[in-house]
A and B are shown apart, each in its own frame.
Chain A
Amino acid sequence: MLKTSRGRILRNTTVILLALVWAVPTWLVLSNAIVPAAEYGSSPHWWPQGFALFDNMSQAWNKAQLGPAMGNSLLYAVTSSLMAVLFAVMAAFAAVVMPVRHGTLWFWLIYSGALLPLQVFLRPLFLSYANFDLYDTQLGLVLVYAAIAVPFAFFIMRNYAMTMPREVVEAARMDGASWWRLFWQIHVPLSKSAMVAAFVFQFVAVWNDMLFGITLSTSGNIRPVMAALAELQGTYVSVGPPVVLGGAILVSLPTVVLFFSAQRFFVNSLKLTS
């Protein structure tokens, strides 16, 4: 009896300590993003003082052109993820449901894109984008983000398709339904939950990307939001920490909200990968 209670105390202390270590940076960021930029001295505040969060955010919004950048990232994240999920569900349908030859080959051809580090794509993409007038355009970024999102979305959709009952499809084929009809009227409705999971996952990945943003775009009205945040961080000393932190919170809000409202989908999509 004594032993278990001592164990419990040990366990609870560990949990509390770990949580504190993790919560301290979060807490400091929140409380210092609230401090008015003009009143920020030389050292961080451990308690919020005054309330200028929205003022700091709007300063960041103006100084780093966060408005257009967030608009761009929203466009990129939504269109590329939609494209990727649609293409992925089509490919998964062909690879799993249709009697396709060399299924394994197709799987690896598409999925290999998820394994390679982004660095191997950068320079050739940069050069050919410059050639085809895609450099520093919204279309160029949408295309590259869609390409990056396809392999993992395909992985999720394919694993999901493999768990679906084959009988439905076979019965529909017996009735003479065409593949297109099977796809739109049976496969897509059945895959809806996995499609949402893949969409959320890819949306977050695109929104959070910085590497392609700084490599394939340069102007303020094209570049995505994380490239703008990196530039804002470069002005840390001149604009003051509260503004930078306010900006970081502002650009993180969409994904944080999405993450916690769609946690179920996240967990499911992670589960599907295992």
Chain B
Amino acid sequence: MSTPTTRSRTGTDHESAPAGSGSRTSVRPSTIRRGGPQRALVRERLTSGAFLAPAVLLVAALLLAPFAATFYRSFFNDHRTSGFAGLDNYELFFTNESLVRSVENTLMWVAGTVVLPCVLGLAVAWLTNATRWSRLARLCVVAPYALSGAAVAVVWNFMLTSDGALNQLLSTVGLDPPAQGWLLEWPSNTVVLILANAWQATGVAVILFLVGLQGIPPETLEAASLDGAGPWQRFRHVVLPQLRPVSVIVVGISLANGLKSFDLIWVLTRGGPGRVTETLAVSMYQETFLLQHAGAGAAIAVVLTLIVLAASWLYLRRQLDAKGD
């Protein structure tokens, strides 16, 4: 049994007992058993279950069960004895002013995170793909991707406060900066937050597009040049169509990340002033933990989940297709 060529038909289950050395610890009497194919099958099932169990249990207990609890909670109101409320919590999206604003902000975030990181990422990847010196430029853009949301918030707080760097820069150039900083007026504060997010999030788009660009066979570009296509035409008709699969992933990832972004807003504005810079991710935290409206918070979390899933569908579809073959 201890030699590499074990001859048990059913695939033994001794966990690599110390080979040789004479001390052949008999793992289990059943190793000698010659079970029929039926038993082998059962044993195989059990073994695969043992391999799957830790991951499945961890995810089920700490992620899926809480998700189910949140979903369930969203149908109960927030009175002292919380009773069944049907869809009342979901109606808040139309009646509660802060939540309406939060939905508006979330839509702005969706638009901003699709357009900015993706377009800028593609531009940077394409423009810096050719020359050597531009690697340094690319590094400038990719570097913030390594920062956390909280650290990005610290950086941009420093840029945006009333005596911050941006105002200083503007007044040096001769422009008139807003005296109270950039984070008080809606909707410009949300726009500024989206720009700060783009500063960080473009890095991953650049990396992904570069991977995509390197997958384009150079012959197709050479052929296009021989046919007299200019740089713009080559980009438009040769490069872009071949980047489609990557673009879908970049859009999906930026969308999901933008929708989930919490740290940046929380550290920079706490959703304020008032609650005007909240997105759904922040509103959920605010309602649940600060206002003690667990039902409303749960409903927000469920709606956010639906939006995130819809956005992820963009690139998940490919994953599903890939499973087919």
Contact = CB atoms under 8 A, between A and B. Distances in A.
Interface of A: 3-4, 7, 11-12, 14-16, 18-19, 22-26, 28-29, 32, 42-44, 86-88, 90-91, 93-95, 98-101, 104, 106-107, 109-110, 112-113, 115-126, 128, 143-144, 146-148, 150-151, 154, 173, 175-181, 183-185, 204, 207-211, 215, 226, 229-230, 233, 236, 241, 244-245, 247-248, 251-252, 255-256, 258-260, 266-267, 270-271, 273-274
Given A18-B120, A87-B54, A151 B151 contact: no
Of B13, B65, B140, B158, most buried by chain A (CB within 10 Å of CB) is B158
A270 B11 contact: no
B204 interface: yes
Interface string B288-309: 1100001001101110110011
Nearest to A88: B55
Nearest to B316: A115
A267 B301 contact: no
Contact of B14 (A101, A150, A178, A211): A178
Contact of B55 (A110, A126, A210, A236): A110
Contacts of A12: 134
B76 interface: no
B85 interface: no
Contact of A106 (B8, B56, B304): B56
B147 interface: yes
A22 B230 CA distance: 29
A175 B12 CA distance: 11
Interface of B: 4-9, 11-16, 44-45, 47-49, 51-52, 54-56, 58-67, 69-71, 73, 120, 123-124, 127-128, 134, 136-138, 140-141, 143-151, 153-159, 163-165, 168, 199, 202, 204, 207-208, 211, 230-231, 245-246, 249, 256, 259-260, 262-263, 266-267, 281, 284-285, 288-289, 294, 297-298, 300-302, 304-305, 308-309, 312, 316, 323
B137 A233 contact: no
A13 to B, nearest CB: 10
A90 B150 contact: no
A18 B124 contact: yes
B162 to A, nearest CB: 10
Contacts of A4: 231
A91 B51 contact: yes
Contacts of A236: 157
Contact of B267 (A117, A180, A233): A233
7 contacts: A91-B54, A119-B285, A210-B149, A245-B155, A248-B150, A248-B155, A267-B211
Contacts of A122: 66, 284-285, 288-289, 301
A267 B145 CA distance: 13
B62 A178 contact: no
